[in-house]
Amino acid sequence: MTRGNGEVLNTMRLEFLSLPENVGLARVAVAALAAQADITLNEMEEIKVAVSEAVANAIIHGYGGEPRGWVRVTVNRLQDGLEIIVEDDGKGIPDIAQAMQPAYSTDPERMGLGFAFMQSFMDELEVTSEEGRGTRVVMRKKLNPSVTTA
């Protein structure tokens, strides 16, 4: 299997209920797959923060913090990096451009920096959403080329 940015060396798919404690689960699972690549500790931390923010957004904003929906995380380890996809079937984002502005949040208890962290820690960020149908966040991180699979 190949993609525009390299051959897929490994892939993982994880699906879990929209429970806050599952942010850590997603973070650890993605980190375990990312560790198969030749990455620095700083890159690992950036990946973990970006995943935490994307999954937390799905749980908090997509499902309103209610454990009634599913969050799906797919990770593709590519020859030249990682592609991480976080999806939910929640309420969706009415205005993506507005939601991606630093300090914007629909929850007054939140700082609204999730997308800002994702943008600064990843090389590419794509967000698609449809009201009432959910959100899909695709993050890509370029890493040192690797040809090993373990």
Rounded to 5 degrees, what angle do the CA atoms 14, 49, 15 make? 10
Measure the CA–CA gap between 71 and 62, rounded to whole angstroms.
9
Confidence of residue 108 (pLDDT cuts 50, 70, 90): low
Tell which wins on pLDDT, 106 or 5: 106
Domain boundaries, the chain: 9-142
Dihedral Cα 14, 17, 23, 28, nearest 10 deg = -30
pLDDT score at 27: 97
Average confidence (pLDDT) over 124-128: 97
Pick the CATH number of 9-142 from 1.10.150.130, 3.40.190.10, 3.40.50.800, 3.30.565.10: 3.30.565.10
Which residue is catalytic, options 53, 77, 83, 87? 53
Q: Mean pLDDT for the chain? A: 88
Which residue is catalytic, options 5, 10, 110, 136? 110
Which of 124, 120, 69 is CA-nearest to residue 91? Answer: 69
Which residue is catalytic, options 22, 27, 46, 57? 57
Tell which wins on pLDDT, 4 or 1: 4
pLDDT tens, position by position, 81-98: 999 999 999 999 998 888
Measure the CA–CA gap between 92 and 82, rounded to whole angstroms.
25
pLDDT tens, position by position, 9-35: 999 999 999 999 999 999 999 999 999
Is 53 considered catalytic here? yes
